[in-house]
Amino acid sequence: MPDFTGADLRGAQFERTDLTGAVFRSADLSQAQFRGADFTGVVMAGVDLVDVRIHGELRNVVVNGVDIVPLVDAELNRRYPDRVLMRPADPAGFGTAWQTLEQLWAGTVERARGLAPAQLHESVGGEWSFTQTLRHLAFATDAWVRRAILGDPAPWDPLDLPWDEMPDTPGVPRDRAARPSLEEVLALRRDRQRTVREVIAGLTKESLAAQTVPVDGPGWPPPRSFGVRQCLLIVLNEEWEHRLYAERDLDALAAR
């Protein structure tokens, strides 16, 4: 295995690199950035975590002997009371969650209309622009609702935008440089929102508890069976989290 003892790797870029089981001792990781990284099973001992920001899925994260996940969840629920609606267990709960998301997003889109069109293509802190965020949500709906639940093997629109770390896949668009107008993206967005709304309106206890039929053909998710509830929860989570990111970035763009 490669040994980098004593090496100066400042500014190095590790993309789609497998570091499973790697050992870091007396390593300076200050100012490092991790995006789309998997930290499952990572152990950090004798580390200094100062001015660190973490955004992602947290499960069983123990800091100095304390599982911080329940504490983080409680604080997020306090800040955003509607967040508790995003883990529904029955069809009515999914209807309420989706209606809430549509209302929240309507306010966010109205904020975006107040900015100059060019600003809606600006990145804040290396993240997606506002229009790219909406394009990614179209991809999420196409992947988990139109493909996984409804069985369309290739539901993609040319403006769909997968997450950056997804490998190039035949037939799946990923034109990160496209600059569609807000109205073009919103037309796609409204169509995909309608699809989710119709699927949720047609849910029963039995269909919500069912498994999807594996879809053949390249794309995402992979051709295997998923729980219908799992697919819809993924869409709710994508919609919820990306709206928070969008609101954060709109604040920064307005301040400019």
Identity (one letter) of the amino acid at 252?
A
DSSP H helices, 20-90, are 69-79
- Is 52 inside a domain boundary? no
- Is 224 inside a domain boundary? yes
Does the pLDDT of residue 36 top 90, yes or no? no
- Is 82 inside a domain boundary? no
- Dmax over CA atoms of the chain, in Å, equals 61
Does the pLDDT of residue 129 top 90, yes or no? yes
* Mean pLDDT calculated for residue range 53-76: 93
- Is 56 inside a domain boundary? no
**Which of the pair, 225 or 36, is modelled with greater confidence?**
225
- Is 236 inside a domain boundary? yes
What pLDDT does residue 35 have? 85
Q: What percent of the chain has pLDDT over 70?
A: 100
Task: Give the number of domains in the chain.
Answer: 1
* Mean pLDDT calculated for residue range 62-71: 95
Average pLDDT, the chain: 95
**Which of the pair, 57 or 137, is modelled with greater confidence?**
137
The interaxial angle of helices 182-201 and 91-113, nearest 10 deg, is 170
Task: Look at 4-18, 72-86, 118-132, 209-223 and tell me which has the smallest mean pLDDT.
Answer: 4-18
10 Å CB burial of residue 111 (0-12, 13-18, 19+) is middle
Q: How confident is the model at residue 217 (pLDDT cuts 50, 70, 90)?
A: confident
CATH of the domain at 116: 1.20.120.450
What pLDDT does residue 233 have? 98
Task: Look at 85-89, 144-148, 166-170 and tell me which has the smallest mean pLDDT.
Answer: 166-170
Q: Are 74 and 82 in contact (CB under 8 A)?
A: no
- Highest mean pLDDT: which of 9-13, 58-62, 203-207? 203-207
What pLDDT does residue 5 have? 87
Q: Which domain holds residue 132?
A: 87-255
Cα 67 from Cα 1, distance rounded (Å) = 34
Q: What percent of the chain has pLDDT over 90?
A: 80
- Is 79 inside a domain boundary? no
Transcribe 170-230 into DSSP letters.
Answer: TT----TT----HHHHHHHHHHHHHHHHHHHHT--HHHHTPBPPPPPSSSSS-SS--BHHH
